[in-house]
Amino acid sequence: MLKSFFPNRILSLDNKLITGLVIVMIFTVFIGIIYALVISPPDYVQGDSVRIMYVHVPSSFIAVGCFGFIGIASIFNLIFKVKFVSLMSKSIAPIGCIFTLVSIVTGSLWGKPTWGVWWVWDARLTSMVILFCFYAAYILTWKFIDRFEKANKITSIIAILGLFNLPVIKYSVDWWSTLHQPSSITLTSPPTIHYTMLVPLIIMFFGMIIYSLIIFLMRYKTEVIKFKLDKKKYNK
């Protein structure tokens, strides 16, 4: 599967594939929004404010997942010196950063009617802010350091350090007493959320995943083209 992302393969990416993904994404998100806003019932405690969940939860998953990929790819990159892995990570970073910001903002909006305040320095919220800072440091390093090898090494170190924050995000609600509710969906136990809310949540999650894939493919192709056109600069 990794061979599909080799630079020469990505340069031959057919625009019809992107168009097809866009159509599927629009259809999926449309169905998800209708289900989330019309069909799904309000929560018996939180009322209609619970509908923020359909954006907040997928955004949080994607934000953490993107950084997880960048961190693991950075370890691989430092060991095997594979440049296209760096280009993939560089392409994914802005996507993860935006979803981290969406997660923080929607979490704040959801927190006001639920907790009575816009923001608290809760362990989960604070660790998401730290994740945003790691994303910002990663992206800005690529932006302001011209030499590829130097930027590649520094960003890899930033990403690997940021990996240590991911377990904190995941388990903060279990390790500390926080306002944030425990996860309703885990890999080790059945979901505690009702199916009328679970279905639109899954639909919105897949819609956002497809959106992320579209943006990634477009950005990655652009990065590969820039890399090839400016190869002398990157190989200094």
pLDDT in tens, 98-146: 999 999 999 888 877 777 777 778 888 889 999 999 999 999 999 999 8
Confidence of residue 179 (pLDDT cuts 50, 70, 90): low
State mean pLDDT over 63-87: 93
In DSSP terms, which residues pair with 47 in a beta bridge?
Answer: 43
What confidence score (pLDDT) does residue 74 get? 95
pTM: 0.88
Q: Can you give the three-state secondary structure of 217-236, one letter per residue?
A: HHHHHHHHHHHHHCHHHHCC
State mean pLDDT over 190-201: 79
Confidence of residue 2 (pLDDT cuts 50, 70, 90): low
Closest Cα to residue 172, out of 133, 206, 129, 205?
129
Q: Sign of the CA dihedral 189, 193, 198, 202?
A: negative
Domain ranges of the chain: 13-234
Burial 125-159, CB ≥16 within 10 A → b, else e? bebbebbbebbeebbebbeeeeebeebbbebbebb
What confidence score (pLDDT) does residue 234 get? 44
CA 149 centroid distance within chain: 25
